Amino acid sequence: MIGILWNLGAFLVALGILIAVHEYGHFWVARRCGVYVERFSIGFGKALWRRVDKQGTEFTLAMIPLGGYVKMLDERVEAVPEERRHQAFNNKALWQRSAIVAAGPLANFVFAIFAYWVVYLIGVPAVKPVIGEVAPQSIAAQAGITGGMELKSVSGIQTSNWESVNMAMISHIGDDEMTLTVVPADENYEKTLRLDLRTWSFDPEKEMILATLGITPYSPPITLEIGQLVEQGAAQQAGFQVGDVIVAINQQPITDWNQVVDAIRSNPEVVLDVQLRRDGALIHAPLTPRTKELSSGELVGYAGFAPVVEAWPAEQRFQLKYGPLDAVGAATEKTWQLVTLTFDMVAKLVTGDVALKNLSGPISIAKGAGATADYGIVYFLGFLALISVNLGIVNLLPLPVLDGGHLLFFAIEAVTRRPVSERIQEIGYRLGSAILVVLMAVALINDFTRL
């Protein structure tokens, strides 16, 4: 319950910030174009807080925090006195109306740049994208990729860490090939390799993109020494202590941590004879793994301890951090990559290269907000930037109920020299609303299937 409340709280904070940013974009440009703004609302329904400024605009925080709006003076909505007609949105020049509508999504992109700027000023720990292992006969192996190589770029996009590698690779869903620039182990030169993706299949819901290509990132070796114990867990109750080294399970010698994981996961509620080395002596501990149910419904064993993992090599660790000016360029580049990636995904959703089951709704966003908030402000800001870019792009889609739909009508007006008729706009609004309802329903269904 505490986890749900934490996720909900983080979601509401994130949503409130992003809605405020988006609506403020509309508001700020509307004011500068001489449009009278009657109300600036975050949320819908009953007002929990309100204030009226010197220009008569009512600022409201409403009960239902699932959106917001800026209500402007408009003759299409209500009668406007003659002396105030020049302040009505519908009487402004086409370029002004277009600027006001486009300002919301633009504000989301600017906010993403600002969020990443702060992230890069604070700095975030990162590791270089060095390949650990490559599966035989995999797409990566056939392209000549081997363990120890460092990925420098993916199809021209610089990749300083694994996050940027994943982002660049995802954009290639549905493509025939992908180009990687790598530096071989213990070498100082770069070379370019081409991956044939014609037989590549990738399900983001079930698979990691690197694994589907046959790539396993390098990670420090996992030892057989016990480093952590869960209080009152099965391992602690069996007599395990921090510093013990696992030697054998059921008289079978153990040489790899995966053997330990397999033995415990496959034997819930079954007594295992675990041989430990403690202070040079061998002892036996009867371990009975408890049962844990996975999201898939599968029942597996769980013992409540973790091993000691060797430290990352110093040459692979770095701090992703910039000075104030350099951070602007890095943040802008990062935001642009997100924008292009999201547009690519939307296009591939339309063409069928990306399945509708990959859509995420508010539940997934809430879980993401809670998880990143757990890690700290830097990761939460990165999450806000990602969702802000997505919000901006979704609003630019050419559906009449969205900003993109209004811009489409304005583009038609610019060509025909006359506004789109109210009847056509009304039909467009109904069609756009129906499409959005369907997409939201699909996203919610996807969210519930992931719970």
Q: Is the model more confident about 344 or about 254?
A: 254
Residue 292, pLDDT score? 87
Confidence (pTM): 0.77
- Separation of alpha carbons 331 and 318, rounded Å: 18
Q: Which residues are catalytic?
A: 23
Helical packing angle, 324-351 and 377-396, nearest 10°: 50
Residue 410 tokens, joined: 């304005």
Residue 307, pLDDT score? 94
Read off the pLDDT of each residue in 133-154 and give the average, rounded to a whole number: 92
pLDDT band for 357, please (50, 70, 90 cuts): low
Among the listed ranges 2-16, 208-222, 262-276, which one has the minimum average pLDDT value? 2-16
Residue 41, pLDDT score? 92
* pLDDT above 90 (res 252): yes
Structural domains of the chain in order of their starting residue, each with its CATH number: 124-220+311-320 (2.30.42.10), 222-308 (2.30.42.10)
Among the listed ranges 4-18, 126-140, 331-345, which one has the minimum average pLDDT value? 4-18
Read off the pLDDT of each residue in 270-279 and give the average, rounded to a whole number: 93
Residue 271, pLDDT score? 93
Read off the pLDDT of each residue in 103-109 and give the average, rounded to a whole number: 95
* pLDDT above 50 (res 44): yes
| Phi-psi sector, 186: left (phi>0), alpha (psi -120 to 50), beta | left
Residue 205, pLDDT score? 64
Read off the pLDDT of each residue in 309-336 and give the average, rounded to a whole number: 91
For the chain, state the CA radius of gyration. Answer: 27
* pLDDT above 60 (res 276): yes
pLDDT band for 139, please (50, 70, 90 cuts): very high
Question: What tens digit of pLDDT does each residue of 358-374 get?
Answer: 555 444 444 444 444 44
Among the listed ranges 23-27, 126-130, 153-157, 439-443, which one has the minimum average pLDDT value? 439-443
Residue 61 tokens, joined: 């925080």
Among the listed ranges 267-276, 281-290, 333-342, which one has the minimum average pLDDT value? 333-342
Cβ atoms of 37 and 72 within 8 Å: the answer is yes
Closest by Cα among 364, 366, 359 to 438: 359
HEC letters along the chain: CHHHHHHHHHHHHHHHHHHHHHHHHHHHHHHHCCCCEEEEEEEEEEEEEEEECCCCCEEEEEEEEEEEEEEECCCCCCCCCHHHHHHCHHHCCHHHHHHHHHHHHHHHHHHHHHHHHHHHHHCEEEECCEEEEECCCCHHHHCCCCCCCEEEEECCEECCCHHHHHHHHHCCCCCCEEEEEEECCCCCCCEEEEEECCCCCCCCCCCCHHHHHCEEECCCCEEEEEEEECCCCHHHHCCCCCCCEEEEECCEECCCHHHHHHHHHCCCCCCEEEEEEECCEEEEEEECCEEEECCCCCEEEECCEEEEECCCCHHHEEEECCCHHHHHHHHHHHHHHHHHHHHHHHHHHHHCCCCHHHCCCHHHHHHHHHHHHHHCHHHHHHHHHHHHHHHHHHHHCCCCCCHHHHHHHHHHHHHHCCCCCHHHHHHHHHHHHHHHHHHHHHHHHHHHHHC
Read off the pLDDT of each residue in 209-221 and give the average, rounded to a whole number: 89
Residue 444, pLDDT score? 55
* pLDDT above 80 (res 449): no
Read off the pLDDT of each residue in 178-206 and give the average, rounded to a whole number: 86
Read off the pLDDT of each residue in 193-203 and give the average, rounded to a whole number: 86
Residue 370, pLDDT score? 46
* pLDDT above 60 (res 42): yes
Residue 26, pLDDT score? 95
Residue 60 tokens, joined: 């409201």
Read off the pLDDT of each residue in 299-310 and give the average, rounded to a whole number: 92
Residue 365, pLDDT score? 44
Q: Which residues contact 394 (CB under 8 A, 6 or more apart)?
A: 402
Question: What tens digit of pLDDT does each residue of 159-189 get?
Answer: 888 888 888 888 888 788 999 999 998 888 8
Percent over 90 (pLDDT), the chain = 47
- Separation of alpha carbons 424 and 296, rounded Å: 47
79-101 exposure pattern, b = at least 16 Cβ within 10 A, e = fewer:
ebeeeeeebbbebbeeebbbbbb
Read off the pLDDT of each residue in 141-166 and give the average, rounded to a whole number: 90
Q: What are phi and psi of 177, to 5 degrees?
A: -155, 165
* pLDDT above 70 (res 144): yes
Read off the pLDDT of each residue in 24-30 and give the average, rounded to a whole number: 95
Q: Is the model more confident about 298 or about 448?
A: 298
Q: Is the model more confident about 112 or about 369?
A: 112
Using the structure block, give the residue that is written with the tokens 């420090």: 220
* pLDDT above 60 (res 450): no
- Separation of alpha carbons 142 and 136, rounded Å: 8
Q: What is the mean pLDDT of the chain?
A: 85
- C-alpha distances out from residue 357 to 25, 78, 172, 432, Å: 32, 42, 18, 21
